[in-house]
Amino acid sequence: MTDPARLALLALLLPASSFIILAVVTPLRRHGRAAAGLSVLFAAGSLVAAIGALRLSTDGGFTEWLWAWIPAEAGPLVTIGVLADGDSALMLVLVALVSFLVQVYSLGYLSDETGPSLGRYYTYQSLFAFSMMGLVLAPNFAQLFICWELVGLCSYLLIGYWYTRPEAARAAVKAFWITKAADVGLLIGIVLLWRQTGTFDFLDLLQMADTGVIPLAGLGVITFCIYLGASGKSAQFPFHVWLPDAMEGPTPVSALIHAATMVTAGVYLLTRTVWLFRLTPDVMQIIAWNGAFTALLAAVLACVQTDIKRVLAYSTVSQLGYMMAAIGAGFASAGFLHLLTHGIFKALLFLGAGAVIHAVGTNDIFQMGGLARRMPQTAIVFIVGTLSLAGVPLFAGFFSKEEILGAVLAGGFPGPFGMLLFGAFLTAFYMFRVVFITFFGTPAAAHHAHDHHVHDASPFMAAPLWILALLSVGIGTLFAFWHPRAEFEELGWLTPTAVVVALAGIAFAYLVYQRRAISADTLAAVFGPIRAAALRRFWIDDIFAFIYRGLMLQLARLVGWVDRYLVDGILNLLSAWTLMAGDRLRRMQSGRGQDYVYGIALGVLLLLVWIRWPR
């Protein structure tokens, strides 16, 4: 096996077979533990295959393994298969790695679940791993769209894993519908692109873009539609509202789907098709500005959250905004690099938060406090993740975030650059706010009652945390000595600025929440209106609710009225008339034979007159 595509295919088919086995063999699934073991085993195999594919793949070299799906006269219309190259193999490894670690972690996190319920969880996990890998390896838009919808389905199923809780069920439906609304854009974009170029295939399209055969007229609409789909999946403004609510799912699910892999699918799609977007600079501008705006908006929102998972959710939205901004600025590789590092450290943060939640039994950071002494291991890994996210040197997020800042500036976007720089300050601030409140400070009274619960996580949960923490530090250190050459001229002052901004955010959080040199209440008073607005989530959810209740439901009511009274009314009137006429005519029927004879005689007479009538 020297072909990366074959190994990638193996990595793709392992979770698929695990899903099929678990879905078909009911006793195995209902046993729970056995299902988990099988799923984890297959995930490990998939990870090994993915790493193998990455080692064999070369930068810029594409290897394909295709089957014809929809035949047509001039070659197959749609193919399915795998397309392995440097980018997709890297992404494949990230998906396989996080998927494997999260499945191991879930063994500890969900140990209280019943057998059937745990089996259901691992069935969905396998399906998700398969769909996500299928998305990553998709050689054309058609397969990509199918897998795109499949991961959306898995997201829905896993957010609603505790479906008896009404909030979880609501959040699942919300996530499903909002991403679905955006997916309509993607579907329209794909179909329009096919009409314009006659192919779904990435490599064909790439060749057409390189040789400049793609007609530019109307291409802006197409790329914008594709961007719409990507912005729904990657929680860009105004579609970001579903992601914080999606935190109702189990924490490992949040780590895997709503931080590391599925939400980055939009960014990945844009990275994959960036040559198409380069042809439409207007859309690139929109992507850059909207990305920077989303990054800043979500960072502000994260500052006022008290739910640890919601802080992380908004920070995910914010970081996705960074990636989008870099792609919009024309440097997709910077965004893709941040996608990879972010996948590692955000999964780490979520799993760390999960360990805390598992121990304390609440999501509210103000009910935690002083956990560093009770859970030292968790505290260390969580702080590693936080430093990565804040962009401190020697940690994974530092280099990629700085590269994004440089890319946005080099792309000629000073406005978004300012927004992102301020966003970086806020990122450091809100993350260390969580760290200081949760792990340091005075323990809150609430969890004294079950103090004996609060201890470091079990080995199943701790091992993935340590692996991810080591990877975060390792990648950061690696980049400090050797880092991929940037595509743009790097500015000398950028690195110190980025570091200073990050450290300033940390220092500010330290002063407010640790030393309490600046009172948090004073801070709240100073930023009163913004804080109030942020607590209402800038009314974006309300706007969506208004659009739904105020406009769509009213429209539905109007349409319902028209249907019920106008359309049905006309039909009812017609049928009533028919009935009435029938009732009148009924009386003609006397039932006496002789009357009918008269009728016949009259008819014959009329016929004779008609025949004999002079014409």
Partner 1 sequence: MGLHAYLMLAAVLFVIGFFGVVTRRNTVGILLGIELMLNAVNINLVAFARFNADIVGMIFTSFTIPITVAEVALGLAIVILIFRMKRTVIADHLDILKG
Q: What's the CA gap between 171 and 174, in Å, rounded?
A: 5
80, 67 contact by CB (below 8 A): yes
In the complex, the smallest distance separating the C-beta of residue 605 from partner 1, rounded to whole angstroms, is: 12
d(CA 503, CA 427): 11
Shortest CB 595 distance to partner 1, Å: 9
**Token representation of residue 438:** 């949760």
Q: Indicate the residue among 164 and 594 with the shorter CB distance to partner 1.
A: 594
Least distance (Å) from partner 1 to the CB of residue 570? 28
> Which whole-number Å values give the CA distances from 610 to 26, 596, 597, 602, 604, in the listed order?
80, 21, 20, 12, 10
Backbone φ and ψ of 80, nearest 5°: -125, 155
CB 7 within 8 A of CB 56: yes
Cα distance between the two ends of the chain: 96
Min dist CB 601 to partner 1, Å, is 7
Of 448 and 586, CB closest to partner 1: 586
Give residues with Cβ within 8 angstroms of 377, minimum separation 6. 456, 457, 462, 465, 466
Cβ closer to partner 1: 582 or 614? Answer: 582
Q: How far is the CB of 599 from partner 1 (least distance, A)?
A: 11
CA angle 89, 101, 65 (to 5 degrees): 25
> What is the DSSP secondary-structure string of 104-137?
HHHHHHTTTS-HHHHHHHHHHHHHHHHHHHHHHH
Tell me whether residue 442 or residue 589 sits nearer to partner 1 (CB atom).
589
Looking at the Cβ atoms of 75 and 593, the one nearer to partner 1 is 593
Nearer to partner 1, 167 or 595 (CB): 595
Query: Minimum distance between the CB of residue 566 and partner 1, rounded to whole angstroms?
Result: 34
Measure the CA–CA gap between 118 and 187, rounded to whole angstroms.
Answer: 34
| Residues found near partner 1 in the complex (CB under 8 A) | 586-594, 597-598, 601
Nearer to partner 1, 452 or 587 (CB): 587
Q: Min. distance of Cβ 613 from partner 1 in angstroms?
A: 22
Residue 238: cis peptide before it, omega within 30 degrees of 0: yes
Could you give the CA distance from residue 22 to residue 27 in angstroms, rounded to a whole number?
9
Task: State in angstroms the smallest separation of the CB of 614 from partner 1.
Answer: 23
CB of 579 to partner 1, least distance (A): 14
Between 448 and 592, CB nearer to partner 1: 592
DSSP output for 556-612: HHHHHHIIIIIIHHHHHHHHHHHHHHHHHHHTT----HHHHHHHHHHHHHHHHHHHH
CA pair distance 322, 296, nearest whole angstrom: 9
Side chain identity, residue 445: A
Q: Among residues 2 and 589, whose Cβ is nearest to partner 1?
A: 589
d(CA 474, CA 502): 20
Minimum distance from residue 602 beta carbon to partner 1 (Å): 11
The smaller minimum CB distance to partner 1, of residues 366 and 596, is found at 596
